[in-house]
Amino acid sequence: MIRRMCGVFVLVCLTALTAFAQSGAQAGVIRDYVGVINQTYHPDIVSYIEKFKAEFERQGNTDAIRGVDRFLEGPFGTGFVYVAPNGDNFIITNNHVIAQSYSLSVTFEKVGGEQTRYDGLTIVATDEEIDIAILAFPGGQKPFQNGLTISTGLVDEGTDVFSAGFPSLGGKPVYQFGRGIVSNASVRIPKDDTGDELSGPYIQHTAQVDAGNSGGPLLIAQAGAPAGYAVLAINTLGAYGRQAANYSIPGSTAMEYINAALNPQPVNEREALETRLNAFIAEMNVPRAVYKDIAKYLSYVCVAENTEYAISELEDRRSSNRMVWNDIIETFNNYPVNGMRLAVAWVMENSMRSSSGIIRISLGDVREISSGEYEVTFTVNGNAVESRWVKEYGIWRINTFGSVAAGNKSLLAEKERQRRREDALFTDYSLMLQGGYTQVFERGAAINAAIRFGNRSSLYSIKAVFNGSSFWQAELGWGFFLPIRLTNFAVMPLFGLGFGAMKSGTYISNFGNDESDIRVGVSVEAGLLLTTAKIRGLFFSAIYQHNFYMNFGPDRLSGTKDPRPDKNYLLFSAGYAF
């Protein structure tokens, strides 16, 4: 009995070792059919992000520079080879792997490190809802005789499955072959935190899936299939907060989409566009913010060409749109292109809202410009707004909208000119130095000087008027000014109160001596300050000051008290402000 059991044990071990050796060899062949997909960004996005890099270089922030460089290398994911019955070669991946692309490539890497790269992949079809995309090799190339077989059968929970792909390691794609089991053969998961809408079905499994695995195959062993495996599903999602809970698009769902995409039925494109337009209108006519709804209708070109202007507009208005600003910037920090998309969508929403905050939109004319491009007129709050829609990756999207999302670089240039003018048109003063000519009524010319400090809401001053030894005045004051900014200059009404002392001459006392006529009192001033964008900080002023100063000594001639206000004047000054 013991000998027999030992024989069975040896047989089992040999069988397992043989199966393991076969599995290892076949697993090594799998990587011949699995590639890393790289994408590059639109030149406008690259140009915009490089401005951040230049600023980080100026600051010496090496960590941020590395982050920018990593972003500019472009995101990557995984795809696998599928060969159609007629021999045409395709790459299957996720939509989100290629959704931000300006150009695409795929690289295959053998065990020894030898690489083969194909640039200029074209997008045959893609679907945002299913999250699947079909890519073709450049020029219709057919480098593969066979691809991976996609299984459409059902699978039992507990079945061994294998993941293959290029997850990130140190920011670089590194091939990985993982193993797990099916933990839920068919599951639907919430689309967002509310849990009201579900997506799927998916196959849930425990095979290793990390960032970069998206679009790669989830495999099951299958005799007779290339490399001994078939694609059970396409790896798509991983769950946060759950251990080893990964989700993949079933092969049956993938094959249904692939067959339909590669064998398309005749479609009335105008009807398809109008269906899309009506869906867009329905999402605009709701009593809430809609920029997240707009974002999914924007073409990649629309986002790229309008990003810099949109974020500039958002930054200018962030004080009045703090929640939107925080939302978009948080998205930008985690997924820059998604943040850019939201910013362009916000600018569009802002342009559509009336002064009362309402969006009323309806469809006007729809005119075909060329194959795959239509000009669409909307009526927005009673105004006609022109837009262009293009078929991008098989989906109708907005390419231009009105004047705010038309890729018009002159808008940004004008905005930069305006920003420079506003910066040069300096009105937020904390310190002002001024001096000039004073016309003292009933006396004549004098000079004046003042130091003002504070801000517009609270402006303090030390000022003096001087006309030889016979007349001077010194005051402490408080006031404010209100800038009225025009294109190249600003007018600033100024108002203030003062308290001080004045010498307005001498008088002969009852004892026959010359005595100084010193008065104390208050004053009121009102006038205008003028500044220009030509010379930042330079300003001119014209101020009338009315003094309420009383003489409590005898009049210089009669020796009696003189209760009259004295020496009101006009001040004409020039100054510089900081």
Percent of the chain with pLDDT over 90: 48
* pLDDT of amino acid 493: 93
pLDDT single digits (tens) 361-383: 999 999 999 888 999 999 999 99
Read off the tokens for 119.
């640039």
On whether residue 14 sits in a domain, the answer given is no
Range of the domain at 568: 431-577
On whether both 535 and 394 belong to a single domain, the answer is no
Which of 215, 237, 262 lies at the terminal end of a domain, its last residue?
262
On whether both 276 and 249 belong to a single domain, the answer is no
d(CA 518, CA 554): 11
* pLDDT of amino acid 540: 94
pLDDT single digits (tens) 2-48: 333 333 223 223 233 333 333 444 555 898 999 999 988 888 888 88
Side chain identity, residue 332: F
pLDDT surpasses 50 at 387: yes
**Element containing residue 173 per DSSP (H, E):** strand 172-173
Compute φ and ψ for 146, nearest 5 degrees. Answer: -130, 150
On whether both 69 and 133 belong to a single domain, the answer is yes
What 186-194 contacts at long range (C-beta under 8 Å, 24+ apart), as own/partner pairs, is: 186/250, 187/247, 189/237, 189/239, 189/247
Read off the tokens for 419.
């920003």
Give residue for tokens 């013991």: 2
**Element containing residue 259 per DSSP (H, E):** helix 251-262
* pLDDT of amino acid 3: 35
* pLDDT of amino acid 195: 63
On whether both 412 and 466 belong to a single domain, the answer is no
The predicted model gives 187-192 an average pLDDT of 84
* pLDDT of amino acid 194: 66
Q: Give the CATH number of the domain where residue 136 resides.
A: 2.40.10.120
* pLDDT of amino acid 550: 77
pLDDT single digits (tens) 297-331: 999 889 989 988 888 888 888 877 888 888 888 88
Q: Tell me the helix, strand and coil percentages in the chain, rounded to 5.
A: 30, 40, 30
On whether residue 5 sits in a domain, the answer given is no
* pLDDT of amino acid 419: 76
On whether both 250 and 292 belong to a single domain, the answer is no
On whether both 200 and 88 belong to a single domain, the answer is yes
pLDDT single digits (tens) 124-155: 999 888 999 999 999 989 999 999 999 998 99
On whether both 287 and 367 belong to a single domain, the answer is yes
- Range picked from 256-260, 439-443, 480-484 for highest mean pLDDT: 256-260
* pLDDT band at residue 506 under the 50/70/90 scheme: low
The predicted model gives 194-198 an average pLDDT of 74
* pLDDT of amino acid 552: 58
Concatenating the DSSP letter of every residue in 23-46 gives HHHHHHHHTTTEEEEEEE--HHHH
On whether both 257 and 281 belong to a single domain, the answer is no
Which of 369, 388, 416 lies at the terminal end of a domain, its last residue?
416
On whether residue 181 sits in a domain, the answer given is yes
- Kindly provide the b/e burial profile for residues 221-250, where b requires at least 16 CB atoms within 10 angstroms of the residue's own CB: bbeebbbbbbbbbbbbbbeeeeeebbbbbb
Determine contact, residues 327/342, Cβ cutoff 8 Å: yes
Compute φ and ψ for 541, nearest 5 degrees. Answer: -145, 150
* pLDDT of amino acid 383: 92
On whether residue 421 sits in a domain, the answer given is no
Which of 262, 287, 304 lies at the terminal end of a domain, its last residue?
262
Encode 296-337 in three state secondary structure: CCECHHHHHHHHHHHHHHHHHCHHHCHHHHHHHHHHHHHCHH
Residue predicted with more confidence, 578 or 62: 578
On whether both 398 and 539 belong to a single domain, the answer is no
Residue predicted with more confidence, 370 or 469: 370
Listed range (90-99, 162-171, 466-475, 486-495) with the worst mean pLDDT: 466-475
Read off the tokens for 251.
């092969």
On whether residue 1 sits in a domain, the answer given is no
On whether both 150 and 243 belong to a single domain, the answer is yes
**Element containing residue 350 per DSSP (H, E):** helix 336-352
- Kindly provide the b/e burial profile for residues 185-213, where b requires at least 16 CB atoms within 10 angstroms of the residue's own CB: beeebeeeeeeeeebbbbbbbbbbbbebb
Q: For the chain, give the mean pLDDT.
A: 84
For residue 17, give every residue at least 6 positions away whose Cβ sits within 8 Å of its Cβ, in sequence order, or none. none
Q: How many domains does the chain have?
A: 3
On whether both 258 and 274 belong to a single domain, the answer is no
Residue predicted with more confidence, 517 or 255: 255
Q: Give the CATH number of the domain where residue 438 resides.
A: 2.40.160.20
Read off the tokens for 158.
């507990």
On whether residue 422 sits in a domain, the answer given is no
- Kindly provide the b/e burial profile for residues 161-181, where b requires at least 16 CB atoms within 10 angstroms of the residue's own CB: bbbbbbbbeeeebebbbbebe
pLDDT single digits (tens) 199-253: 889 999 999 999 889 999 999 999 888 778 999 999 998 887 788 899 999 999 9
* pLDDT of amino acid 105: 94
Percent of the chain with pLDDT over 70: 89
For residue 117, give every residue at least 6 positions away whose Cβ sits within 8 Å of its Cβ, in sequence order, or none. 105, 106, 107, 108
On whether residue 9 sits in a domain, the answer given is no
On whether residue 2 sits in a domain, the answer given is no
pLDDT single digits (tens) 411-440: 777 777 777 877 888 888 889 999 999 988
On whether both 244 and 311 belong to a single domain, the answer is no
* pLDDT of amino acid 102: 84
